[in-house]
Amino acid sequence: MRSIRKIIFLAVLLYIINFFLQGNYVVFRPGTAENLKEIITVENGIDSDHEGSFFLVTVAQQPANLMLFMGSLVTPSIELFPKWRIHPPEIDLEEYYEIERRRMRDSQYLAKIIALRRMDYDVPIISDGILVVETMEDSPARDILKPEDVIIELDGERVNLAEELVQKIQERPVGSEVQITFKRNDSVLTESVTTVPHVEDREKAGLRIFIRTLDWEPQLPVEIEIGTGAIAGPSAGFMFVLEIMNQLEEQDISHGKKIVGTGTIDMREDVGPIGGIKQKVAAAEAIGADFFLVPAENMQEAERAAGRIQLVEIDTLQDALNFLETIRSDVSFLYDPERMLISQELIPLPVPVENSCYCFLVSLDKEEKFPL
């Protein structure tokens, strides 16, 4: 009788633990590696003849349970996170997914623009303007700009993206005067504002306001289709650029290699950090990739997770293009992205594993916004 009670007690305890895990934790585990030549189609592209391939990698998310919890104790690529760290509590799940889908759309727009401009195409951008979300208490524009104002010009020049406005302001010295043209209701106003040190980097100019881009899209001279299905978020933007460029180049810029990568990308061609790097390294190794292009800020964690795959640290798109130039032959060079050089030491390529996964701010007001 006592043993039956123990069994019942244990069963109830395990049920409670499992119920608690499902309701409060999310599991990250390796997802898939997707061949980008099967996802991206560029008008008159020639990538199908290239021997190499670029891949994006995904992270699978699901509610935790007791079995996955046990697996996380012995498998480094399976991790548990509290739900509040993944989904802001002020945003319901469907709204969160909608934000991530919008970030995927914007990453595709950016990738198309960057790749085509790299190939000397002119790519105009149209937008509904840049929304003022909030002004900080010490903003020099606090008495000039109000939430819901829509900025359309800087010093008489049209600006379409929040990121573009941030970049143009930061090209000016701190303390310089700028002319901001904006819409308020049915009126168009122009006012002068003196820049101050940016809240995140005091050596750069800013206005201490939060802004976001309203609806926008590029006017593409070449048709480009990117079919990512249910994949969301901005972390494949960098790899989209490489694949689009590869389809527009006669030469295979992957040089016959299987190259996985991850990272956001912005209009300055900076490659930004992503989440789930452990899981993405595992997904890359599972397909026997030759190289994994890793954002610099994720490099240390990637090195701890990597087995046999060769990691390449990337800060900018140009870093990646420089690296790709070093793999024309069957030897890999020790690459130093900071010096944009290759070292003189040669090492053999790793043996592939056999086949067996801006700073944009997601604010709690459910919108993406930039600090300026």
- Average pLDDT score, the chain: 83
In the structure encoding, which two tokens stand for residue 178, read together? 């700028």
- CA–CA distance, 261 with 278 (Å, rounded to integer): 13
Residue 120 pLDDT class (50, 70, 90 cuts) = very high
Residue 337's pLDDT is what? 47
* Of 179, 111, 117, 171, residue with least CA distance to 145: 179
Distances (CA, A) of 250 to 39, 46, 50, 116, 308: 19, 7, 9, 15, 31
What ranges in 25-124 are assigned the alpha helix state H? Answer: 66-74, 83-86, 93-118
Q: Is the pLDDT of residue 312 over 90?
A: yes
**Residue labelled with tokens 């290239």:** 50
Q: Is the pLDDT of residue 167 over 60?
A: yes
Q: What is the DSSP track for 220-276? A: -SS-EEE--TT--SSTTHHHHHHHHHHHH-SS-TTTT-EEEE--EE-TT-BEE--S-
- CA–CA distance, 279 with 78 (Å, rounded to integer): 7
Instruction: Give the pLDDT confidence of 273-289 residue by residue, as tens digits.
Output: 998 999 999 999 999 99
Residue 355's pLDDT is what? 29
- CA–CA distance, 109 with 106 (Å, rounded to integer): 5
pTM: 0.77
- CA–CA distance, 86 with 67 (Å, rounded to integer): 21
Instruction: Give the pLDDT confidence of 313-362 residue by residue, as tens digits.
Output: 999 999 999 999 998 655 444 445 443 333 323 223 232 322 222 222 22
- Within the chain, what is the greatest distance between any pair of CA atoms? 86
Handedness of CA 293, 296, 298, 301 (dihedral sign): positive
Instruction: Give the pLDDT confidence of 26-80 residue by residue, as tens digits.
Output: 888 899 999 999 999 998 887 666 778 999 999 888 787 878 777 777 677 787 7
Handedness of CA 341, 347, 348, 353 (dihedral sign): negative
For the chain, list the domains and their CATH numbers: 27-63+91-119+220-361 (3.30.230), 125-215 (2.30.42.10)
* Of 350, 284, 269, 223, residue with least CA distance to 57: 284
Residue 49's pLDDT is what? 63
Residue 108 pLDDT class (50, 70, 90 cuts) = very high
- CA–CA distance, 113 with 123 (Å, rounded to integer): 6
Q: Is the pLDDT of residue 123 over 60?
A: yes
